[in-house]
C-alpha cells in the first residue's frame, strides 16, 4: 500500500463504516491474476511499472471482503470459464459481469482519489452488490473473445480501459480472453464492430434463465483486443462524461430554481 492510502485503513472505503475489522482486498482478484498469469509479469499500478499483481491490495472491512468473495468473485470466476468455453451468458450473468467490472473500476477510482467521496447516491458496496436499478434496461453489454495469445505476449491482458471521471456507467477492459464494455444505449453505435452486444432486460428475473448471449471470438490475439478496446474506450469515456456533466448541470439549475 502506498503512503497516501494509509488513512483509508481507518474507514472502509466500500461501506463507509468505521471501527470495523479490516482486511485487504486485491484490486484485481487473485483468481484472475492466476488465470492471466500476471503474477509472473507484473502490472502498471500507482504510476509504477511491473508491480506484482498480487501486491496491489486495498483496505476493506472483513465483512465487505467476504461479501465480495461470495457474491461476486466466486460466481464471476466460474462465469469466465463459461464464457471462454463458448457456453454463453444469461441475463443475470450479464448483470453480474457488469457489477463486477464496476467493482474493479470503483476500487481503482477510490485508490486514485482517496480524499473524495465515491458517490453521494450510494456506497460502492451498495452499487456492486445490490441489483442494478432502473437503468438496467438501458445498459448494453459488449463482449468479444480473443482467439489466442500474441507470440510476443507472455501473459493475458488484465486491465480497465475506460477513463471516464464523472460517468459511473461506462466501464471497459480486457481480462484474460474476454474484452468487454458496458455502455448506455444511446452510445451503442460507438461499440467496435468486433463486439457482440446484449441489452439487459429492464427488470431482473427471479429465476436464473437460459443463455441468451453468445459473444463472438473476433479478436485474433490479445494485442488486437487491447488496441481496439483502448482506442474506442477513450472516445466512449468522453461521451459518457459529457452527458454526466450536462445532467449534473441541469440538476443544479433545477435545484437552484426550486
- Residues forming contacts to Zn ion in the complex (CB under 5 A) are 12, 14-15, 61, 64
User: Residue by residue, what is the 3-state secondary structure of the chain?
Assistant: CCHHHHHHHHECCCCCCECCCEEEEECCCHHHHHHHCHHHHCEEECCEEEECHHHCEEEEEHHHHHHHHHHHHHHHHHHHHHHHCCCCEEHHHHHHHHHHHHHHHHHHHHHHCCCCCCCCCCCHHHHHHCCCCCCHHHEEEEEEEEEECCCCCCCCCEEECCCCCCCCCCEEEEECCEEEEEEEHHHHHHCCCCCEEEECCCCCCCCCCCEEECCCEEEEEHHHHHHHHHHHHHHHHHHHHHHHHHHHHHHHHHHHHC
Contacts of 133 (CB under 8 A, 6+ apart): none
Nearest approach in angstroms of CB 6 to Zn ion is 17
| Cell numbers 446484449: residue | 198
Residue 39 grid cell? 503474477
CB of 75 to Zn ion, least distance (A): 20
Measure the CA angle with vertex 239, ends 238 and 243; round to 5°.
115
Q: Output 40 or 66, the one with its CB closest to Zn ion.
A: 66
Q: How far is the CB of 3 from Zn ion (least distance, A)?
A: 22
CB 124, min distance to Zn ion, A: 9
- Whose Cβ is closer to Zn ion: residue 61's or residue 139's? 61
> Rounded distance, CA 90 to CA 158, Å?
23
Please report how close the Cβ of residue 204 comes to Zn ion at its closest, in angstroms.
Answer: 24
Report in angstroms how near the CB of residue 8 gets to Zn ion at its nearest. Answer: 11
**Least separation, in Å, of the C-beta of 101 and Zn ion?**
20
Pairing of strands 48-51, 178-184: unpaired
Amino acid at each position: 500500500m502506498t503512503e497516501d492510502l494509509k488513512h483509508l485503513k481507518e474507514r472502509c472505503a466500500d461501506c463507509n463504516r468505521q471501527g470495523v475489522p479490516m482486511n485487504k482486498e486485491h484490486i484485481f482478484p487473485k483468481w484472475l491474476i492466476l488465470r492471466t498469469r500476471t503474477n509472473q509479469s507484473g502490472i502498471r499500478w500507482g504510476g509504477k511499472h511491473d508491480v506484482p499483481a498480487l501486491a496491489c491490495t486495498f483496505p476493506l472491512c472483513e465483512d465487505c471482503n467476504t461479501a465480495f468473495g461470495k457474491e461476486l468473485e466466486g460466481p464471476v470466476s466460474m462465469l469466465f470459464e463459461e464464457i471462454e468455453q463458448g457456453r454463453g451468458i444469461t441475463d443475470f450473468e450479464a448483470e453480474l459481469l457488469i457489477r463486477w467490472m464496476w467493482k474493479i473500476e470503483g476500487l481503482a477510482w477510490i485508490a486514485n482519489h482517496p480524499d473524495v467521496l465515491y458517490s453521494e447516491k450510494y456506497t460502492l458496496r451498495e452499487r456492486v452488490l445490490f441489483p442494478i436499478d432502473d437503468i438496467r434496461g438501458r445498459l448494453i453489454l459488449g463482449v468479444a473473445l480473443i482467439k489466442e495469445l500474441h507470440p510476443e505476449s507472455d501473459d493475458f491482458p488484465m486491465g480497465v480501459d475506460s477513463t471516464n471521471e464523472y460517468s459511473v456507467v461506462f466501464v471497459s477492459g480486457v481480462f484474460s480472453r474476454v474484452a468487454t464494455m458496458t455502455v448506455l444505449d444511446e452510445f451503442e453505435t460507438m461499440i467496435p464492430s468486433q463486439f457482440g452486444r446484449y441489452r439487459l432486460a429492464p427488470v431482473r428475473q427471479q429465476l436464473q434463465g437460459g443463455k441468451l448471449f453468445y459473444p463472438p471470438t473476433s479478436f485474433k490475439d490479445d494485442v488486437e483486443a487491447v488496441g481496439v478496446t483502448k482506442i474506442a474506450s477513450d472516445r466512449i469515456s468522453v461521451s459518457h462524461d459529457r452527458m454526466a456533466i450536462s445532467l449534473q448541470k441541469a440538476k443544479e439549475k433545477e435545484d437552484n430554481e426550486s
